[in-house]
Structure 1
Amino acid sequence: MGLTTKLELVFTCACIGANAMCAGAIFCFPLLAAPLGVNLHLTQAQLSTIALAGMMGQYPFGPIWGMIADRAGPWVCSICASVLFALSFGLFSHTISISSADITYNTYLLLVFYFFLAGLGTVASYFSFMFSAFKVFPRNSGLATGVVTAVFGFSPFFLSVVATKYFTDVETGAINVAGFTKFLATRLGLVYAIGAIGLRAVPKDGEPQTEDTEGATETSPLLADNALEQRQKREAARDSASAVLCDRQFWMLTFIVIVCIGSAEMVISNVGTIVVSLSTSTLVSAPAQVRLLSASNTISRLITGPLADYLSPMSMSSSEAVVLPLAGARTMSRAVFVCLFTIIMTISYLWMSFGVRTEHGIWALSLGVGASYGGLWTILPSLVASFWGTRHAGRNFGILSNAPFLGTPLFTYLYAAISDRSRGEETICQGAGCWLTTFRICAGAGCVAVVTSIVLWRERRAKV
């Protein structure tokens, strides 16, 4: 490898890392929620809708960005993310700066739309660094994608530190929303524009050839015998989308994702107002909870992947996966990790339901939800591949990953409705009554998810 190629690789890797580090901007919304509610007199339902728009902007368009990354290259995703982030946060900042208290309904809808664009930019940025890492390091794709997703999980921590250090009012502790979102518009737009330059070197089709392709020669038989042909037909039928959707275990896993990921994203979007509901003086605790969520999310992603590979290595041919040195003999099912994270999340909700009455106890919620959220997203792709094969693992995981599209709005609006009902004449709801019923419902749903995960593990423990 020549010097020019080495420098190009270093620049590409730096762009991948920078894209991942800046991709979590929408998860900083808890820092903005309380100031927006106080200054613009937005209700909890309106604040939750803005946050939800960002979350919902991610899920429906994932397949489209995936096709763009495959056919045109990840650099196109990066330049699109640059435009989307610059527009969304720039217009959000401008709208906030010219708005007074009691904004009009049309202005509120604009804020919702702008945050939806930010969510769309988030998934574009995700595909830019994820596919780049996979294609630049095809022989170590597991390690490469694991590292960049961990950096992505750390992104809200990094951005919240920037927000509190440079955009916080010293007297009130509140974030300057207009200033911070303007910063996001300019810096993220620049980072992803530069990233597009660095990612142009990433190949469009970096997947290695399979053993079947490499093994074909002029002397290979052109027609398989009847038994092989029948077996291939059976495998094709088993791997079809309709077969997966008819599998009861797929819907068991979907229910777990709806409950766990949906409720977790409700917490991630609203932890700022949860803290403020118990705070007697300042808004300083909200950034601390965002950082704790981000840190536990990141650490969980870093630990879960290698630990799962060591305790439950996947059975794949050498053409499908890299066999890492840390992979050991199979000692447990990967489904155990789903049980573990579901239990941790449910305990976090039970803690909020019965053990927390001051803001100082919320750390356990942030720690438990962050760890479970990151761990579940880390284990689910390999679990889906283990359950239904690697041939269509991307398609199957894509179907499953749409489950939060139902769960996130369900739990978010549940929280908003209960909070607004308990708000009274206050601008921001105060007291444990703002969220107590919500977390008790989440704990109940979590208990059902725990039972479901145990049943799923018992049915699959001998195979996966």
Structure 2
Amino acid sequence: MPPSLRKLRLGFTCLSIVLNALCAGGVLTFPLMSPALATRMKFTQPQLTSIVLAGIVGQYPAAPLIGKLVDYYGPWLCSLIASVLFTSTFSLSAWTYALTPQGLDHPSSLSFGILVTCFCLAGLAQACSFFSLLFAATKNFPSLIGIASGTSMVMFGLSPLFLSFFATNIFTDSQSGLDLAHYLTFLALVGGTVNLFGACVLTVPDSHVVLETIDEASQASIDETTSLLSGPRKCDGEVHVIAVREPDEVSLADLIKDPYFWILFVFMSLTVGCTEMVQSNIGTITLSLPPVSSAVSEVLPEVTIATQVRLFAIANTVSRLLSGTFADILSPVARYLPSGMYCFTKKQRLSRVLFLSFSAVVLTFSFAWTEVAVRTQRAIWVLSIGAGLVNGSVFNIVPGILSSIWGIQNLGRNFGVLVLSPLLGTPLFSLLYSYVAASHTDSGICEGVHCWRLTFWVNAGCAIIALALSLLLWSRWKDRV
């Protein structure tokens, strides 16, 4: 292929990656939809939680299969699947909402079942879109794989922020609030069109081109490390190269038998489960609190909720950028040198595991602060930002830990198993929140701090347990990562 045509194709691929990332998070804007669903369709808090939980949990079970499809057929197929699912699920959701008559006394079980199914499949579509853009980025830029994957995840994290602007500025009326039917139709059209474009242009280079690129990068690395070994540089009087134990390249069966893997799994279940519970229910958490004054009460609830959604998205994005940068500077991942030595080529100033400990501390503080100090909608920002920071940081730090302890050869497999942990934590914490809230109201959205007081005390206790687990991992792995 001529170089000019190859660059054009790469340009379209990059454009598709950006568009897919920004438009994939429609499910994550559910907090903006929940007031309309509660008002018109009379859904209870457990029903609202079940709908959004279906959307979040729907991403995880098929992740290994989606990854295999991307590896075997390429990212275009998953983008095509995402296009079909986004179009059909959000269109059916809009149709179901539009046909619901005003003035219902009780929620329709049929409508509830349709929305649960639609959001579960929309979560699957989100996973397909994410895998297609992530692997298209990493396989087109193999010598910059860290930057490519990190940038893709950051843009994906901005998706709720991007879509919420459309929801509040285009589809929200000052009198009637969010026009949910038209907003869902918008998500169907945008998600379907963007991913259909991805199905046409998302390609990866031929294998021989990738190998040539990797060989060039590897040769540059060899030259650098050879120079380093022939004349060790010093930093603060200490040699950069510090030999460490080589990662354990274990089978899946051996990984499952490792008790420390399950400690990390439980840590992920507790921390990510808590943050995803906050993310999916921040709308009703906000509405449970009174405005700060009569002047603020004129602000539409959708606008207040949109602010919290944006704060979570911004904090999530910032934490992915900063945690990765600081981890690479303070906690370098060990490398395998041509001499046969597995070592740190930079001075390790802080164990990477302590970043997990810091995340647990932030989460504990966020829940404790909410319990003690949050009594109006204005103060809820601490919870949104704290949960966003922890969610982004944990997901960003874990891959480096996995590669250092169990090797990079099976990193995808190991991360795929570990990422199933939210399937345990997220439903448990979300259902706890929904049933505690439901126990304090007969219908509609619960109001008052009693709606979530017990839930957040339990969450704070679980965050403290997660902190203890991270310190246990640090005592075991502090010399390796």
Q: In structure 2, how many angstroms separate the alpha carbons of the residues matched to 1:61 and 1:175?
A: 32
Following superposition, the deviation at residue 34 of structure 1 comes to 1.4
Separation of aligned partners in 1, 2:204 and 2:261: 38
1:71 aligns with 2:82: no
Per-residue CA deviation, residues 94-136 of structure 1 (Å, 9 max, x unaligned), is 1110012334212210110000010000000010000001100
- Maintained 8 Å contact 1:33/1:47: yes
Matching residue of 1:97: 98
**Count of aligned pairs:** 434
Q: Give the structure 1 partner of residue 464 of structure 2.
A: 447
For residue 306 of structure 2, the aligned residue among 265, 278, 287 is 287
- Tell me, yes or no, if structure 1 residue 360 matches structure 2 residue 363: no
- Greater shift, 19-28 or 60-69, is seen at 19-28
Contact kept in structure 2, 1:77 and 1:124, CA below 8 Å: yes
Deviations 1:404-450 (A, max 9, x none): 101110000000000000113x5211111111110000001111111
Q: Determine which of 133, 136, 143 is the counterpart of 2:137.
A: 133
1:398 aligns with 2:416: yes
Would you say the 8 A contact 2:276–2:426 is kept in 1? yes
Q: Does the 8 A contact of 1:136 with 1:206 survive in 2?
A: no
5+ residue gaps, structure 2, are 220-245, 292-296, 339-344
Q: Cα 1:243–1:206, aligned 2, differ >3 Å: closer, same or farther?
A: farther
1:16-415 maps to which residues of 2 (within 5 A)?
16-100=17-101, 101=104, 102-172=106-176, 174-203=177-206, 208=211, 239-280=250-291, 281=297, 282-283=300-301, 284-317=303-336, 328-415=346-433
Counterpart Cα distance in 2 of 1:73 and 1:275:
42
Gap runs ≥5 in structure 1: 216-234, 320-326
- One-letter code aligned to 1:441: V
C-alpha spacing 1:398/1:206, structure 2 compared with 1 (3 Å) = farther
Distance 2:439 2:257 in 1: 40
Give the Cα–Cα distance (whole angstroms) in 2 for the partners of residues 238 and 92 of structure 1. Answer: 46
CA shift, 1:206, in A, is: 8.0
Q: Establish whether residue 9 from structure 1 lines up as the match of residue 10 from structure 2.
A: yes
Who is 1:222 aligned against?
Answer: none
| TM-score (ref. length: structure 1) | 0.90
* Secondary structure of the corresponding residue to residue 200 of structure 1: coil
Deviations 1:221-252 (A, max 9, x none): xxxxxxxxxxxxxx999511122112121111
Which residue of 1 is the match for residue 455 of structure 2?
438
Cα deviation code 1:245-286 (max 9, x no counterpart): 121211111111111101111100000000011135441210
Aligned-partner Cα distance in 2 for 1:67–1:105 = 36
Whole-Å separation in 1 of the counterparts to 2:277 and 2:207: 36
The one-letter code of the counterpart of 1:405 is L
Question: How has the CA–CA distance of structure 1 residues 236 and 428 changed in structure 2, closer, same or farther, with 3 Å as cutoff?
Answer: closer
| Preserved contact between residue 34 and residue 284 of structure 2 (Cα < 8 Å) | yes
Query: 8 Å contact 1:238–1:244 — kept in the other structure?
Result: no
| Partner in structure 1 of residue 237 of structure 2 | none
2:174 partner SS: coil
Provide Cα deviations, 1:73-98, integer angstroms capped at 9, x if missing partner.
00111111101100111111111100
The Cα shift of 1:205 comes to 9.2
* C-alpha separation in 2, matches of 1:188 and 1:380: 29
C-alpha RMSD over aligned residues: 2.1
Bigger shift: 279-288 or 109-118?
A: 279-288
Q: Secondary structure at the match of 2:150?
A: helix
Matched residue type, 2:478: R
* Aligned partner of residue 423 in structure 1, secondary structure: coil
Q: Which whole-Å CA distance do the structure 2 matches of 1:81 and 1:204 have between them?
A: 25
Query: Equivalent pairs: percent with the same residue?
Result: 38
Tell me which residue corresponds to 2:234: none
Residues 384-408 of structure 1: per-residue CA shift (max 9 Å, x gap): 1112111211111111110110111
What is the distance in 1 between the residues matched to 2:170 and 2:337? 50
- Paired residues of 1:135 and 1:206 also in contact (CA < 8 A): no
Matched residue SS, 1:278: coil
| Structure-2 change in CA distance of 1:191 and 1:204 (3 Å) | farther
